[in-house]
Amino acid sequence: MLETIALWLFGIGLAFDVLGCIGLVRLPDVYNRAQASTKCVTLGTTMILVATGLFGVGGNWPLFIKSILCAVFLLMTAPVGAHAICRSAYVSGVKLADVSVEDAFTQRARTIRAEHRQRAEEIERNLREVEKSEEAEA
């Protein structure tokens, strides 16, 4: 019974992995690709991990514990990483695909870019002051 459930989970997880990767190749821009690949592949790999854990139930508990630990960690971290990459992509100016209909992040991205520019100017000013003081010493 448990083995049947594990085999089904394994198979469905593999299907999710392949579909996510096909989405990674076929979709038009970074954000769509990130959406497809991250959601599908994270869920698929989590299912594979849970199936692996079910094979360890009764007799091989370390396998079970490690798999569940890895699954929980993956579920928590993979979306965070993809979100960070997408945010940095938007802030650094990667455009949306032409078929997109709505873009709600424009204003916030403009603010973030302004903050970046301000920080860069500050650093430049500090550098110039240091250069001036060095020249004065010389």
Partner 1 sequence: MSPTFLEVAMYVLIFSSLLCLDRIGRGPTAPDRAISIDTLGTIMIGFCCIMALWPTPTDSPSASPFMDYYMTIAIAWAIISFIGSLALAKYLEGRCYDA
CB count in 10 Å sphere of residue 37: 21
Least separation in angstroms between residue 38's CB and partner 1 is 7
Q: Is 56 in the site for partner 1 (CB under 8 A)?
A: yes
Q: Is 9 in the site for partner 1 (CB under 8 A)?
A: no
Distances (CA, A) of 71 to 36, 48, 53, 60, 89: 19, 9, 10, 17, 27
Helix H segments across 29-105?
30-55, 61-91
Q: Is 132 in the site for partner 1 (CB under 8 A)?
A: no
Single residue of 1, 58, 62, 102 touching partner 1 by CB under 8 A: 62
**Rounded-to-5 percentages of helix, strand, coil across the chain:** 85, 0, 15
Kindly tell me which of 92 and 133 has the beta carbon lying closer to partner 1. Answer: 92
**Which listed range, 64-72, 98-106, 128-136, lies at the site for partner 1 (CB under 8 A)?**
64-72
Q: Is 12 in the site for partner 1 (CB under 8 A)?
A: no
In whole angstroms, give the CA distance from residue 75 to residue 80.
9
In whole angstroms, give the CA distance from residue 2 to residue 99.
46
Q: Which residues bind partner 1 (CB under 8 A)?
A: 3, 7, 10, 13-14, 17-18, 20-22, 24-25, 30, 33-34, 37-38, 41-42, 44-45, 48-49, 51-52, 55-56, 60, 62-63, 66-67, 69-70, 73-74, 77-78, 80-82, 84-89, 91-95, 113, 116
